[in-house]
Amino acid sequence: AVTLLRTLPLVFRMVPMNRYYGFRTKAAFSSEANWYEINARGGKMLALGSVVILVVGAVGFFVPEKYTLIYIGGGLIVVLAAIIIPLVSFIGWQRRFGP
């Protein structure tokens, strides 16, 4: 939930160019327009991954005990995918903004 909340200022283009918060890539620092576009897109990807992780966690409350191991294995795969897919997708996408 914290990660989701931290992505919202990026999604809504509320974070000016800085060295501490946001997607700090060479392409992002090449122009103010790139900064906002890259951070908005990256924020959306992180937000989507965060929602998936929250849903997986919430589903765990309703899984019968006899299916716990299946849930853990499946949940782990989904959570890793929710982290890796947006990251790889973002890296590939933001390269088109390169200087």
Angle made by CA atoms 46, 81, 96, in degrees to the nearest 5: 55
Mean pLDDT on 67-93: 94
User: In 3-state terms, what secondary structure has residue 14?
Assistant: coil
Give the tokens for residue 27.
């392409």
- Cβ pair 8, 50 in contact under 8 A: no
How high is the pLDDT of residue 2? Answer: 84
At 99 the pLDDT is: 61
Instruction: Give the ranges where 17-67 is alpha helix by DSSP (H).
Output: 32-59
Residue 97: pLDDT above 90?
Answer: no
Band of residue 67 on the pLDDT scale cut at 50, 70, 90: very high
d(CA 23, CA 59): 30
Q: In whole angstroms, how far apart are CA 56 and each of 2, 9, 22, 76, 81?
A: 15, 24, 26, 9, 12
pTM for this model (two decimals) = 0.84
- Residue 9: both structure tokens together: 């200022």
